[in-house]
């Protein structure tokens, strides 16, 4: 699933999470397929983001997983001998791997 600004939402995208307003009231439930009218209505209600299924949009900051993991390893290169920081390295790595698998 991917969280995207409502301005990038298109018809036929499917909601992966319910949409709620600022007071926490549910406006639209998970699983609904977006239609033009619905997108316009959500815009009028001030909704800024929606979470949709899959990974339909490539944002400028996104890179392939292998490249992300390589850069991550490089950032930890000066603290390789600290087992506590290796725990942090592992935690971030396994989170990224799990998240990307869900997208596939």
Partner 1 sequence: MSEIKIEIKKRLRNLQSLPTLPPVVSKLTKMFGNENTTAPQLAKIIERDQVLTSKVLKMVNSAFYGFPRRISTVSNAIVLLGFNVIRTLVITTSIFEMMQSGDLSLWEHSLGVAAASGILAQYLGLANPEEVTTAGLLHDLGKVVIRSEFPSLSQEISALVKQKKIFIREAEREILGGMDHSHIGQLLTNQWNLPERLTEPIAHHHEPSKSKKFFQETAVVHFADILIRAWGYGYSGDPWVPPLDEKAWEALGLRFQDLEEIIPLLDERILDLRFFTQEIRGEGFGQNNTLH
Q: Which residues bind partner 1 (CB under 8 A)?
A: 3, 5, 7-8, 22-24, 49, 56-61, 68, 71-72, 74-79, 82, 84-85, 87-92, 95, 99
Q: Which of 74, 72, 64, 73 is nearest to 100 (CA)?
A: 64
Query: Minimum CB separation from partner 1 for residue 104, in Å?
Result: 18
- Measured from the CB atom, the residue of 24 and 64 that comes closer to partner 1 is 24
- Measured from the CB atom, the residue of 31 and 90 that comes closer to partner 1 is 90
Beta strand 2-5 pairing with 19-20 = unpaired
| Cα(101)–Cα(65) distance, integer angstroms | 10
Query: Minimum CB separation from partner 1 for residue 69, in Å?
Result: 11
- Measured from the CB atom, the residue of 67 and 104 that comes closer to partner 1 is 67
Query: Minimum CB separation from partner 1 for residue 24, in Å?
Result: 7
* Residue 49 phi, psi (nearest 5): -130, 150
**Cα angle 60-96-19, degrees, rounded to a multiple of 5:** 70
Query: Minimum CB separation from partner 1 for residue 38, in Å?
Result: 16
Q: For residue 50, how many other CB atoms are within 10 A of its CB?
A: 23
């Amino acid at each position: 699933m991917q969280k995207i600004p409502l301005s990038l939402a298109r018809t036929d995208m499917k909601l992966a999470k319910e949409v709620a307003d600022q007071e926490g009231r549910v406006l639209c439930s998970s699983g609904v397929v977006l239609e033009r009218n619905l997108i316009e209505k959500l815009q009028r209600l001030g909704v800024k983001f929606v979470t949709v299924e899959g990974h339909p949009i490539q944002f400028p900051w996104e890179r392939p997983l292998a490249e992300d993991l390589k850069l991550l390893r490089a950032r930890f290169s000066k603290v390789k001998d600290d087992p506590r920081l290796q725990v942090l390295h592992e935690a971030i790595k396994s989170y990224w791997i799990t998240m990307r698998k869900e997208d596939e």
